[in-house]
Amino acid sequence: MKMTLTGVFLVLIGIIYTEAKNVHEDVYLSGCTDTDGESMYGLDGEEKRHVDWKAGKYVNTLPEFADQYGIVEGAYEQALVDQQTCKANLGLNIQVNKNPAVAEAPPMSSIYPRDDVMVGSENTLICLVTGFYPPQLNVTWTKNNHIVTKGVSTSQLRMNVNDGSYSQFYTLQFTPQPGDMYTCTVEHQALERPMTREFDVEEVSEPSLGPSVFCGVGLTLGLLGVATGTFFLVKGNQCN
Concatenate the DSSP letters of all residues of 139-185 into one string.
Answer: EEEEETTEEE-TTEEEPPPEE-TTTS-EEEEEEEEE---TT-EEEEE
Alpha-carbon Rg for the chain in angstroms: 29
CB-CB contact of 11 with 86 (8 Å): yes
pLDDT of residue 214: 44
pLDDT of residue 34: 72
CB-CB contact of 34 with 4 (8 Å): yes
CATH class given for the domain over 108-200: mainly beta
pLDDT of residue 225: 56
Alpha carbon 110 to chain centroid, angstroms:
10
CB-CB contact of 159 with 100 (8 Å): no
CB-CB contact of 59 with 75 (8 Å): no
Domain layout of the chain by residue ranges: 9-96, 108-200
Q: Dihedral sign for Cα 125, 62, 38, 130, please.
A: negative
pTM over the 0.85 mark: no
pLDDT of residue 99: 62
In one-letter notation, the amino acid at residue 28 is Y
- Report the C-alpha gap between 148 and 141 in whole angstroms: 5
Residuewise pLDDT in 10s, the chain (240 residues): 333 333 444 444 444 444 445 565 667 777 777 777 777 777 766 677 788 888 888 877 765 555 556 677 888 898 888 888 888 887 777 777 666 566 789 999 999 999 999 999 999 999 999 999 888 889 999 999 999 999 999 887 887 877 778 899 999 999 999 989 999 999 999 999 999 999 999 744 344 444 444 455 455 555 555 555 554 455 555 554
CATH topology of domain 9-96: 3.10.320
> Pick from 74, 96, 103, 107: which is nearest to 192 by CA?
107
